[in-house]
Structure 1
Amino acid sequence: MQFGIFTVGDVTPDPTTGRTPTEAERIRAMTTIAEHAEQVGLDVFATGEHHNRPFVPSSPTTMLGYLAGRTSRLLLSTSTTLITTNDPVKIAEDFAMLQHLSGGRTDLMLGRGNTGAVYPWFGQDITKSVELTVENYQLLRRLWDEDVVDWEGRFRAPLQGFTSTPRPLDGVAPFVWHGSIRTPEVAEIAAYFGDGYFANNIFWPKEHYARLIGLYRERYAHYGHGTPEQAVVGLGGQVFMRRNSQDAVREFRPYFDNAPVYGHGPSLEEFTRTTPLTVGSPEQVVEKTLTFQEFFGDYQRQLFLMDHAGLPLKTVLEQLDLLGEHVVPVLRREFEARRSPGVPSDPPTHASRVAARDAARDAALEAAPEAAAGAEPAGV
């Protein structure tokens, strides 16, 4: 199972000091956090994409390309890449380039985004977000899968004899996750293509996400990709830890109360009771995270949000140390011990997808002579 972190890249004042980091400081902090994630044994670093304050990660592949040269094992991903307002041609080329730079340590999560103002900034209509998602993703798949594309749609200029460059590494496109917190159509798209489905279950009660994940699993099986249990699922989470749970609550409370994503709303206690947010000891984080498997079934990727709400870099790095030493090793062991037979423990990687492609090709070649030998001679 893959464990990692994702960042939303918010530039938020530290409520305990009143100091706001500069954009440069925040960007450097995000890259430091990613490098530290690899050092403590995590598998994935994912960055969001935002084009509005107080967020800074407007160019995810620029950051991930930099990190490709600073890391050797970490899988570099997004959370989210905006399929509605980005040109599919640019997505295809940017992530193929990132594949080459990272040696295949690349996948991505597509989503519609949660900031309505972004649509007109990029010349799109938010009321067409689902249609944009469907059309843009269908084009993206063709750009990766076909060397020469002729295409015409509703939302961008036609393509005639177009080849996106560079071509995907080893002829295999990056694995795609579809992120959603409320849209059944996104679960349907993920299921149709046999892609991964990421439910960033950080805001609402578990029952809401269980319905979306259940729909995705059902449709995944319907389209012939495997059993519902074998569908590729990822989940989000938020944690803040100290060795003593009371210390964690006391330290994190001012950050929670002033956070741009959920501050000034429900109390910390209410939020931890109704969502995956865990504020406490590493043991409490393990205990609550293990319940995700009970609610949603076996899954393959768990990402945590840890660097938001103005938390100082030093504090975030301490959180990663606790996560890598006291939480993830236990979760790896317990999740695998509880996993149902026949359910994959990891999502597809570049290496596994290349191997699957080659195995299918070899099987087809072996079957071809047998088919030819069994055919009747011409003219009989």
Structure 2
Amino acid sequence: MQFGIFTVGDRTTDPTNGSTPDEHRRIKAMVEIAVRAEEAGFDVFATGEHHNPPFVPSSPTTLLGHIAARTERLILSTSTTLITTNDPVKIAEDYAFLQHLADGRVDLMMGRGNTGPVYPWFGQDIRQGIPLAVENYALLHRLWREDVVDWEGRFRTALQGFTATPRPLDGVPPFVWHGSIRSPEIAEQAAYYGDGFFANHIFWPKQHTARMVDLYRRRFAHYGHGTPEQAIVGLGGHVFVRRNSQDAIREFRPYFDNAPVYGGGPSLETYMRETPMTVGSPQQIIDRTLSFREYVGDYQRQLFLVDSGGLPQRTVLEQLDLLGEEVLPVLRKEFAALRPAGVPDGPTHAARVAEQKAPQAP
């Protein structure tokens, strides 16, 4: 089981003091979060990709390349790579290059993002979001696996005899997750290729997440990649932790009430009851996270959002330390004890290289 942190890189005003980090401070803060995450014992750091205020991470490979030089074992990922508005040729080359720089510590999550205007900014039509995701990934998948590609599609110019450079490290492309909150077509796409499916697991009730993951697992088996239990699943989740649950709720409430994505809607208590958001003590975080497997099955990666909504950097780093000290060791032990034989571990470059080199059964 892999545990990590994901960030959307927002610059939200702190409602308790009215301060807003500038772009420089927020970018530097994301690097500091990643470094501290490794020190605290996390396995993964993932960044979103956004091209509009109030977000800053418009260039994930630049950010992750810098973090690669500052860390030693952390898996560097994206919590969204915009497969719809990025050229798949550029994705193929950028992430293979990053894979070499990071000695294989790279994977990425394909997604469509959460901002409609990004489509025309990059010359695309939002009404073609799903077809773009399907076609662009089909090309990307080939570019990483075929040395010379001839290709023709609807949304970009044709390729003749094209070779993406550099080639993937050790001949093994970065592992791909297909991320979605609401689109069954993306779960189907992940299943078709035998890739991972990441259910962001925020905003929606657990019944919705359970249906999406179940669809992916069933279709994964349908396409012959293994049993439903062997499908590779990741979950997101929003947490805020203090040693005392009352302190956690009191401190987090103004950030929840004023957050652009939460404010003006249900109360914090209602939101915690009806979605996977968990605000409380370490034991409450542990109990809630362990409950996820009751409705999605045993899964491979859990990412926590801890730095959005204007939280001070000091508070974010305290979250990482407390999670690393009191939550992760228990979760690792409990998930390992509960996992049946035959359920795969979270993907790593080393394991995938070894699998490729292993002799095939007759």
The residue aligned with 2:139 is 139
The residue aligned with 1:357 is 356
Which one has a bigger Cα radius of gyration? Answer: 1
Cα shift readout 1:174-205 (whole Å, capped 9, x = no counterpart): 00000011111111110011000000011110
SS at match of 1:99: helix
Q: Which amino acid aligns with 1:66?
A: H
Q: Which amino acid aligns with 2:211?
A: R
TM-score (norm 2): 0.99
Which structure 2 residues correspond to residues 76-115 of structure 1 after superposition, within 5 A? Answer: 76-115=76-115
SS at match of 1:76: strand
Distance in 1 between residues matched to 2:39 and 2:241, nearest whole Å: 19
Distance in 2 between residues matched to 1:251 and 1:10, nearest whole Å: 19
The residue aligned with 1:348 is 347
Cα shift readout 1:155-180 (whole Å, capped 9, x = no counterpart): 00111111111110011100000001
Q: Does 1:9 align with 2:17?
A: no
Which structure 2 residues correspond to residues 306-345 of structure 1 after superposition, within 5 A? Answer: 306-344=306-344
SS at match of 2:144: helix
The residue aligned with 1:236 is 236
Which structure 1 residue ranges, 5 or more long, are not aligned? 368-380
Distance in 2 between residues matched to 1:279 and 1:223, nearest whole Å: 39
State the shift of 1:342 in Å. Answer: 1.2
SS at match of 2:50: coil
Which structure 2 residues correspond to residues 284-295 of structure 1 after superposition, within 5 A? Answer: 284-295=284-295
Counting aligned pairs with the same residue, the percent is 74
Distance in 2 between residues matched to 1:274 and 1:105, nearest whole Å: 35
**Would you say how many aligned residue pairs link Structure 1 and Structure 2?**
362
Q: Which amino acid aligns with 2:92?
A: A
TM-score (norm 1): 0.94
Cα shift readout 1:220-249 (whole Å, capped 9, x = no counterpart): 001111110111000011111111111111
SS at match of 1:145: coil
The residue aligned with 1:218 is 218
Distance in 1 between residues matched to 2:53 and 2:204, nearest whole Å: 24
State the shift of 1:348 in Å. Answer: 2.0
Distance in 2 between residues matched to 1:260 and 1:5, nearest whole Å: 20
Q: Which amino acid aligns with 2:29?
A: A
Distance in 2 between residues matched to 1:265 and 1:117, nearest whole Å: 24
CA RMSD of aligned residues (A): 0.9
Which structure 2 residues correspond to residues 256-275 of structure 1 after superposition, within 5 A? Answer: 256-275=256-275
Distance in 2 between residues matched to 1:276 and 1:31, nearest whole Å: 27
Distance in 1 between residues matched to 2:265 and 2:101, nearest whole Å: 42
Structure 1 runs (4+) greater than 4 angstroms displaced = none
Q: Which amino acid aligns with 1:95?
A: Y
Which structure 2 residue ranges, 5 or more long, are not aligned? none
Distance in 2 between residues matched to 1:289 and 1:263, nearest whole Å: 24
Cα shift readout 1:52-107 (whole Å, capped 9, x = no counterpart): 11111010010000001000000000010000000000100010001000000000
Distance in 1 between residues matched to 2:85 and 2:290, nearest whole Å: 36
SS at match of 1:177: strand
State the shift of 1:216 in Å. Answer: 0.2
Cα shift readout 1:1-56 (whole Å, capped 9, x = no counterpart): 10000000000111101011100000000000000000011000000000111111
State the shift of 1:341 in Å. Answer: 2.1
